[in-house]
Amino acid sequence: MMNLKYAFVVLAAALPLYAMAAPPADEVTALRAELQALKNDYHARVDALEARIVQLEVAPPAAKVADAMPPAPEAVPAAAPGGGASAFNPAISLILGGSYTNTSRDPGDWNIAGFPPNGGEVGPGERSFNLGESELTFSASIDPYFSGVLTAAITGEDEIEVEEAFVRTTALPDGFTAKLGRFFSGFGYLNEVHAHAWDFVDQPLVYQALFGGQFQQNGVQVKWLAPTDLFLEFGAETGNGDGYPATRRARNGVNGATLFAHLGGDVGDYTSWRLGGSYLTQKAEDREGGILDAAGEPLFDLFTGDARTWVVDGVLKWAPSPRRQLKVQGEYMRRRESGAIADVEGIVLADDFRNSESGWYLQSVYQFAPRWRVGARYDSLDAGTPRYTLSPDGLLSAEPDRLSVMLDWNPSEFSRLRAQYDWDNARDDGERDRILRLQYIYGIGAHGAHKY
């Protein structure tokens, strides 16, 4: 043992001495050559500067040269920080996703009992392997006053859809910001979150039933962030109504309005929370899709009237360490519709139709290891009971529900592999659908921070 110790000391002392030993002759020659090259370059630069000075001394007066020059262009606003040539290179990101689906029932007849078909992206999708949406995003500062974002979804059916395309102010005073274009509405909690950042493969049933998925607004949104220690945000938006449950109307102006408020803060060092309340009022004109009766036949084909929706949302996060985090999230929505219903030819069947439908979900996701998360979610809906003159007797209210569990593995912040299993009772016909989905999500390029 002592011999090994002495050998380690001798080796440790010898390595620095070896490193400090005189360099070989070849290295000295190379250094001399490099020094001579620097001298030659220095003399060449001095000669060039002297020649330039002589040229300027014999040139015409500067005033004459200025008179011959064209007028200078008007000054343009300075580029945003990080600008220069790079200001014309927007940040680009690409999300690649896909899934494998196994269902115990035919997904072709999937529906949410008691709720009218809304034409949205709802249901578990087709069986077997499916290419998900590939999300391509461009974003950049336009000038000191605006930034722009374009997010396009390339679907597995070889279609391109614009999810969001808006400009946003960056220099309004006193905590105000504004968006103009197409954007996900700011009501609730989950609606603004892009699909690749969801904690489950799909949206809660209440979003699918009441909005046909994420609600997009083609219009304008204004937010105000209060200058307080407590997070306090108010927002309002309006648009053209081109999204369920509203429709575009055959007149000038806007359709409907959305108001929302969010309140949040911290509790201690590890816990944060956010609560929100939203109200949406919209109008529909000859909206297609009527509520189905027990036999699966539509009670009517067209609806014209008002839709008023209340939304309450809440999020609680607990993060005692980077290795362990817990997130609890839930939303409740209630909508009341009133107006006239008509058949497919536009003949009014009743002008006193009214119905109240509601739904909620509660989910929890726990990160129990740096790369592993597990979660559970419960969905519940109440289709209400439609009432109008000559409404059929025996019309029962449907109460679909669903339980989902998921496990995902995140090798890095740019990749996620997920397994989700659903006990799905959306049809509410006494036969439960068992759905297994395997999902992959990969991100490429620069991507902005996600919502709280």
pLDDT at 38 over 90: no
Taking all residues of the chain, what is their mean pLDDT, rounded to a whole number?
85
Band (pLDDT 50/70/90 cuts) for residue 393 is low
Share of the chain above pLDDT 70, in %: 79
What pLDDT is recorded for position 297?
79
DSSP 306-369: EEEEEEEEEEEEEEEETTEEEEEEEEEEEEEEEEEEE-TT--EEEEEEEEEEEEEEEEEEEEEE
pLDDT at 5 over 80: no
What pLDDT is recorded for position 64?
41
Cβ–Cβ under 8 Å, residues 123 and 105: no
Q: Which residues contact 141 (CB under 8 A, 6 or more apart)?
A: 79, 80, 82, 83, 87, 147, 170
β strands within 36-185, DSSP E = 91-103, 128-131, 134-141, 146-154, 160-169, 176-184
| Bridge partners (DSSP) listed for residue 420 | 406, 437
Q: Between these two residues, 366 and 16, which has the higher pLDDT value?
A: 366
Which residue's entry shows tokens 């939303």?
Answer: 331
pLDDT, one tens digit per residue, over 160-183 is 999 999 999 999 999 999 999 999
Q: Between these two residues, 32 and 1, which has the higher pLDDT value?
A: 32
Q: Which helix (H) or strand (E) holds 304?
A: strand 302-321
What pLDDT is recorded for position 452?
76
Tokens of 408: 């995902």
Q: Mean pLDDT check: name the lowest of 28-37, 211-220, 379-388.
A: 28-37
pLDDT at 11 over 60: no
Which residue's entry shows tokens 């995140």?
Answer: 410
Nearest partner of 329 among 439, 132, 193, 160, judged by Cα: 193
Tokens of 3: 């011999």
For residues 300 and 347, what is the distance between their CA atoms, to the nearest angstrom? 10
Q: Between these two residues, 16 and 231, which has the higher pLDDT value?
A: 231
pTM of the model: 0.79
Q: Mean pLDDT check: name the lowest of 10-24, 36-50, 346-360, 373-387.
A: 10-24
pLDDT, one tens digit per residue, over 83-102 is 454 555 789 999 999 999 99
Number of H helices, E strands in the chain: 4, 17
DSSP 193-246: S-GGG-SSSS--HHHHHHHSSSPEEEEEEEEEE-SSSSEEEEEEEEE---STT-
Q: Between these two residues, 39 and 64, which has the higher pLDDT value?
A: 39
What pLDDT is recorded for position 333?
98
Average pLDDT over residues 330-339: 97
Per the rule left: phi > 0, alpha: psi between -120 and 50, beta: everything else, 339 is left
For residues 3 and 18, what is the distance between their CA atoms, to the nearest angstrom? 22
| Bridge partners (DSSP) listed for residue 252 | none
For residues 450 and 198, what is the distance between their CA atoms, to the nearest angstrom? 10
For residues 437 and 248, what is the distance between their CA atoms, to the nearest angstrom? 36
pLDDT at 448 over 60: yes
DSSP-based three-state secondary structure for 165: strand
Tokens of 49: 């500067």
Cβ–Cβ under 8 Å, residues 428 and 400: yes
What pLDDT is recorded for position 292?
78
What pLDDT is recorded for position 293?
75
Q: Between these two residues, 438 and 82, which has the higher pLDDT value?
A: 438
Average pLDDT over residues 324-332: 97
pLDDT, one tens digit per residue, over 339-381 is 999 998 999 999 999 999 999 999 999 999 999 999 999 999 9
pLDDT, one tens digit per residue, over 236-289 is 999 999 899 999 988 899 999 999 999 999 999 999 999 999 999 999 999 998
| Bridge partners (DSSP) listed for residue 70 | none
pLDDT at 82 over 60: no
What pLDDT is recorded for position 323?
86
Nearest partner of 188 among 308, 281, 276, 272, judged by Cα: 276
pLDDT at 13 over 90: no
b/e map 178-198, b = 16+ CB within 10 Å: bbebbbbbbbbbbbbbbbbee
For residues 436 and 421, what is the distance between their CA atoms, to the nearest angstrom? 5
Alpha helices in 58-107 (DSSP H): 62-68
What pLDDT is recorded for position 68?
39
What pLDDT is recorded for position 23?
47
